[in-house]
Structure formats: structure tokens, C-alpha cells
Amino acid sequence: MRTLSAQFFKICTFFLVVIITTTAGLSIPSISKRDTVAKCPDNNFPVFVGSSCKTQHSMIVQCKNANTNARASHEQQCNQGENCVDFLLNDDVAFAMCVPVNKLLQWTNGNTDDEFCSGTIRFDSGASGDSISIGLNTYDTNGNPIQVFDMVEKVNNQQIGEVKNQHNFSQIYRNYNVHDIVTFCFIPGASDPHNPYYANKAIANAYIVRLSSIGGKDVQFTDIEPVISQNNTLYIEN
Ligand SMILES: *[C@@H]1O[C@H](CO)[C@@H](O)[C@H](O)[C@H]1NC(C)=O
Ligand SMILES: *[C@@H]1O[C@H](CO)[C@@H](O)[C@H](O)[C@H]1NC(C)=O
């Protein structure tokens, strides 16, 4: 009886996994909801300098006064249902955005110390040869940034960059062609280096944006509606 129900449970789990993995490949033909971008609402400091994620649901925005060059920063909350991802606007300017969770690639290590890779994300429309900004952030279960041992970004399965001991990894990738597939991997930082089977849970959030959609320097960032496809590999908790 015991083995029979264990067998039955295994079969149910198998079908559950099949159902989840076959429905998880989302195709998003057009996105109407806008991402939340940093704003400089104070008239004394109206010029955007940079933004970075403070938590999973908030960013720190730095603004300045163009005449005096004086700077001020403030905290800006994401809208409900959005998570913060760090991007680069150009090689010098950090540009955090709050992205609706249903547009993000999200995955986790659970509590295991190993390499965990994302599903895929790509643009299926628009011009080829554009530059895109690629962002990856890891958060703990309370939504605070959590450092991980290793972060990797790939285009068409070729590694394009790697950082160690960070909670964010942002790059600009030039010459992106429509349908190029972007993927990510991370290795969590072990909280107990003597136990390879245990690591704190990290939740990775990754996304891509066209640089042309978020503008160049000193542009107002208001209209970010990329057309993307994503192919989520959902991590199934034990
Ligand atoms: C990554 O995080 C650091 C620390 O919070 C922050 O200074 C930086 O602007 C963030 N973004 C990028 C693109 O590195
Ligand atoms: C989804 O992932 C599979 C396996 O990695 C890949 O073969 C397929 O091209 C991906 N589809 C999209 C839309 O990225």
C-alpha cells in the first residue's frame, strides 16, 4: 500500500511537472503595462544621474541640479507586482527599473549549493543589430539583495560575461539580432562552506531591454514596451 501510494505520488508529480513546463513557455506579443522607471520629481534636482535597486521592490534614484551640479537621492517604490532589476543605460550610467514580475525570468536555487540556470528570453520583433541592456539581480526571501558566488550571462549559449560575489550583473550587449536567445546562470554563495548541499535561498530576476527604448543620456524614460518572448524553466520546490 505504501509503495503503491508512493508510486501514485510519483506519477502525479510527473504529470504536474509536465503540465507546468508545457504551460510555462510564455509568448508575449505586446505589452501594454509600462515598466516603472526612475523619476526626478524635485524641481531643484530635475536631472537624472543614476538609479540602482535598493530592495526587490524599491530603487535609489540620484538626481542633480544642472546649474549647480548639486545632487540628491531619494527612494522610489516599485508598483505592485513589479520587481527591481539593475541595468546600464550606457557604460557609465546605472539604470534600475521595476519590471512586472510576469515579464521577468525568475528562478531559484531552493536551498541547494549548485549552478542554477534560467529559462530563455529574447526579442521576437524590432530591428537587428541594436544594443540591449541585460540585467540580473538576486534577492533573498525577504526581498533584500543577496550576494551570490557566481553570475553568468549568455547569448545563444555563448558566455558573454561573468562576475563573482555580487548581487547584480548588468551589461550592454551590442549587435543583438532578433531571436537571439539570452540566458543566465548563478551559483549561490554557500552560507556553510563545509556543506555543499546547503546554501541560502536566492531568487534570481533577469530581464533584457533595448537601449533605444530607454533612451540615451538625459532622455526622459517614459515609454518602455519591449516585445519579448520568454521561456521560463520553473524551479519546482521539493
Ligand atoms: C549594482 O549594485 C550596486 C550596489 O547596490 C550599485 O552601486 C550599482 O549601481 C548596481 N547596478 C549596476 C548596474 O551595477
Ligand atoms: C525554449 O527553450 C528551449 C530549450 O532551451 C529552446 O530550444 C527553445 O528555442 C526556447 N524557446 C524560446 C521561445 O526561447
For residue 67, the domain's CATH number is: 2.60.120.380
Which residue out of 75, 86, 144 has the highest number of ligand 1 atoms within 8 Å of its CB and is therefore the one to mutate? Answer: 86
User: Domain of 146?
Assistant: 2-237
**Is it the case that residue 237 has pLDDT exceeding 80?**
no
Q: Is 231 in the pocket of ligand 2 (CB under 6 A)?
A: yes
Q: Is 232 in the pocket of ligand 2 (CB under 6 A)?
A: no
CB-based contacts of 229, cutoff 8 Å, min separation 6: 26, 27, 28, 121, 122, 123, 124
14-28, 69-83, 177-191, range with greatest mean pLDDT: 69-83
Instruction: Fill in the DSSP letter of residue 103.
Output: G
Domains in the chain: how many in total? Answer: 1
Lowest-confidence segment of 97-106, 142-151, 161-170, 211-220 by average pLDDT: 211-220
pTM of the model: 0.77
Residue type, 79: N
Question: Can you tell me the distance from the alpha carbon of 11 to that of 3, in angstroms, rounded to the nearest whole number?
Answer: 12
**Is it the case that residue 229 has pLDDT exceeding 80?**
no
For the chain, percent of residues with pLDDT exceeding 70: 73
Residue 139: per-residue pLDDT: 98
CA atoms within 13 A on the CB side of 97: 32
Residues in the chain, how many?
Answer: 238
Which residue out of 22, 27, 117, 120 has the highest number of ligand 2 atoms within 8 Å of its CB and is therefore the one to mutate? Answer: 120
Judge contact between 232 and 193, C-beta under 8 A: no
Q: Is 54 in the pocket of ligand 2 (CB under 6 A)?
A: no
Among residues 127, 175, 173, the alpha carbon closest in space to that of 154 is found at 173
Question: Can you tell me the distance from the alpha carbon of 51 to that of 60, in angstroms, rounded to the nearest whole number?
Answer: 6
Confidence of residue 25 (pLDDT cuts 50, 70, 90): very low
